[in-house]
Amino acid sequence: MQRAEVAGDLSGRDERLRVRVALDSERVVGDIDRRLFGGFVEHMGRGVYGGIYAPGHPSADERGFRRDVIELVRELGVTTVRYPGGNFVSGFHWEDSVGPRELRPTRLNLAWHSSETNEVGVHEFAEWLAEVDAELMLAVNLGTRGTREAIEFLEYVNISAPTRLSQWRSENGRTEPFGVKMWCLGNEMDGPWQLGQRTPEDYGILAAQTAKAMRQVDPDLELVACGSSHAAMPTFGEWEKVVLTHTYDDVDYLSCHAYYEPEPGDRASFLGSAVNMDRFIDAVVATADHVKAVRGSTKTIAVSFDEWNVWYSSRLPEQLPRAADDWPLAPPLSEEDYTVTDGVVVGDLLMSLLRHADRVRSASLAQIVNVIAPIAAPDDGPAWRKATFHPFALTARHARGRSLDVVIDTPGHHTRVHGDTPYVSVAATHDPGRGGAVFLVNRHESAAAEVTVELSGALAVLGVAEAVTLHDPDLDAHNSAAFPDRVGPRPNRSLRQQPGALTVSLPPVSWTMVRLVDVEADAEAEVEANEG
């Protein structure tokens, strides 16, 4: 975990933050599970129809998938994708999403007051995931349906034995099972907005029953129980305790969800959003470990942070249709511009997940295309990267191996929402025999930070491969279809390396990655490549 010594306030606009960081390759938080870099796709707005699937678009292939979106999702590097929701799943009939398209019914999408044609279903989405090289993670409907429907869905998806449902899957074009290992037992079941909202007792009993039944079908599943919808829920903590009391022996993960947006006039608190995520994870872990101790269990519950992002959700009610006779198909919803400030916060949130890699074993950026997404896919032009795309893509590509325990001495200040907040945030990784990476955020709105990073153990002999920074003097700068590269990572030429240390300057409101490589291993690989 990052251990910050907050050295005091800094308010002068011309002063520079002085920060010291200590990293040791032997001080390890935990191995980094590649599922930490997952995504999330829900049948909401133009996320599926118009985003992933748009038969009339110039880039569409013979199946209707947008090739320009596929290429950007590959570059983004998502490893696992949670589907089909989200709130949508609490009204989802999986049977509607399979079989011949011309026979699939159009339904009301009650979660987002729109129409659902079911043109894209389980088979089509799995085909799309094969194109982007990501693993499927499914959610079952425990809002308006229950255990029977969950095990039938599982049988259809995963069983090779010649049953009615597996034969139906074969008739629908898929002889081999999908082999989905990770399943969510409902979604945000504590939320009053959720179809089928339940008390923690009711949900815990249903989730345990469903988990037991699903394991009778496939004992090797990884199951996720619903945690609180967010840390500000009035039942937060108590919900986790009660749900785990019922489900502890039957599930592997407890979910966390968190979205952040700035409040007017309080950018400082928004920039400190990762402080809230750190505390949220710590509280959930403490509650899970309390239940473990009470039960005398040897099993440890992991965290699936399967919805997280910056989301201007306060704007959503104005975008949603409401009339009983108004059910549009794929209306634009929550298509955020995402400023450079948003990009810095997203990078910082991902760093929080890295700092908790010992317990957060899976996470899903919500979402991927158009809807609260790092990728924009306009109907009348090519897809392009938003500001939040870059820190996610670079972290997913280079944060490998093990997450390191970070010791940092940094000035800080008091924010209205989070209280004491360090100005500089750090996460670091080490992949033995290959290299490592250091991720840094400067949350100060006007002062640069001069950071000295002391490297010990195997890190001390690594060389710097690159240093890039996401920053813009205009904190509200963002990309657009006309200027898709207005905001993006640029080389940070301030970096200097000395034996066992490096120094780097971080501009105000910026996210930086320093990539380290094993110089000897790189040289040997280059020699082998030349000889080959």
Check 42, 116, 152, 188 and give the catalytic one: 188
Contacts of 274 (CB under 8 A, 6+ apart): 345, 348, 349, 351, 352, 425, 441
Question: Is 307 noted as a catalytic residue in this protein?
Answer: yes
Contacts of 503 (CB under 8 A, 6+ apart): 450, 451, 452, 453, 494, 495, 496
Contacts of 516 (CB under 8 A, 6+ apart): 435, 436, 437, 438, 459, 462, 463, 464, 465
Amino acid at residue number 300: T
Check 116, 307, 335, 336 and give the catalytic one: 307
CA angle at 396 for the pair 283 and 40, rounded to the nearest 5°: 65
8 A C-beta contact, residue 138 and residue 151: no
End-to-end CA distance of the chain: 43
Contacts of 11 (CB under 8 A, 6+ apart): 413
8 A C-beta contact, residue 402 and residue 34: no
Structure tokens at 287: 């509650």
8 A C-beta contact, residue 147 and residue 123: no
Q: How many CB atoms lie within 10 A of CB 528?
A: 9
Structure tokens at 261: 């947006």
* Listed residue (335, 342, 298, 328) closest to 470, CA to CA: 342
* DSSP β-bridge partners for residue 60: 66
The residues annotated with a catalytic role in the active site are: 188, 307
